[in-house]
């Protein structure tokens, strides 16, 4: 499953918790890009511009989708899902748009302590959000995050995608047949 949304929408907060609850792997695409390119996101933007970053992003995403060997929650960068080639690549995977009002996103982005290459001022931030919103709305599911805690957001995603039931069924089957649970740290 892929978490999509604007900067500060909660992808990097919800993703690890959702993966933990489901016993899945968590992957942050930005970390994969940095490891693959041996440079920080800020350095890639600075040295190659946004177009160079987007090329590195799609290359890392293609590698990731070809190598996923178990159920995973993947957090995409804020601009990834706005790219047609990314949406096409992820067409067969469930995607969850984490949505919040732009003013709340601006406030969160001011408080998270992260340097964001495309966060300049409030007006530019709101314009970029408005431009990307139609693309985010193409996700499989939209979950409103405004004023909500991480647990309730995870519960909604699990419910909408019927993931909690699947995870519980796997645990029950493992217990019934005395099969070691892969969620205890063993890889599948």
What pLDDT does 187 receive?
A: 36
What pLDDT does 180 receive?
A: 45
Between the alpha carbon of residue 119 and those of residues 87, 103, 129, the distances in Å are 23, 13, 10
Arithmetic mean of pLDDT over the chain: 86
Residue 100 and residue 9 in contact, taking contact as beta carbons nearer than 8 Å: yes
* Sites in the chain below the pLDDT cut of 70: 112-120, 164-188
Cβ count near 105 (within 10 Å): 25
What pLDDT does 112 receive?
A: 60
CA atoms of 12 and 112, how far apart (whole Å): 11
Q: What is the pLDDT of residues 37-92, one digit of tens each?
A: 999 998 999 999 999 999 999 999 999 999 998 899 999 999 999 999 999 999 99
Domains of the chain (ranges; CATH) run 2-184 (3.40.50.300)
Q: How far is CA 153 from the centre of its chain?
A: 13
Burial pattern 127-136, b for ≥16 Cβ within 10 A else e, equals ebbeebeebb
- Mapped onto helix, strand or coil, the DSSP state of residue 8 is coil
For 141, list phi and psi in degrees, rounded to 5. Answer: -135, 145
What pLDDT does 142 receive?
A: 97
């Amino acid at each position: 499953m892929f978490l999509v949304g604007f900067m500060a929408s909660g992808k990097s907060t919800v993703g690890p918790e959702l993966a933990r609850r489901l016993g899945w792997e968590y992957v942050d695409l930005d970390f994969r890009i940095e490891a693959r390119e041996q440079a920080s996101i800020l350095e890639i933007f600075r040295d190659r511009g946004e177009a160079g970053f987007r090329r590195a992003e799609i290359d890392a995403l293609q590698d990731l989708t070809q190598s996923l060997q178990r159920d995973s929650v993947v957090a995409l960068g804020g601009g990834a899902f706005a790219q047609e080639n990314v949406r096409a690549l992820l067409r067969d995977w469930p995607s969850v748009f984490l949505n919040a009002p732009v003013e709340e996103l601006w406030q969160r982005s001011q408080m998270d302590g992260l340097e964001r290459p495309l966060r300049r001022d409030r007006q530019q931030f709101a314009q970029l959000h408005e431009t990307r919103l139609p693309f985010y709305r193409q996700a499989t599911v939209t979950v409103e995050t405004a004023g909500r805690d991480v647990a309730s957001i995870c519960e909604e995603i699990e419910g909408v995608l019927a993931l909690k039931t699947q995870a519980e069924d796997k645990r029950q089957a493992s217990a019934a047949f005395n099969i070691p649970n892969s969620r205890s740290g063993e890889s599948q």
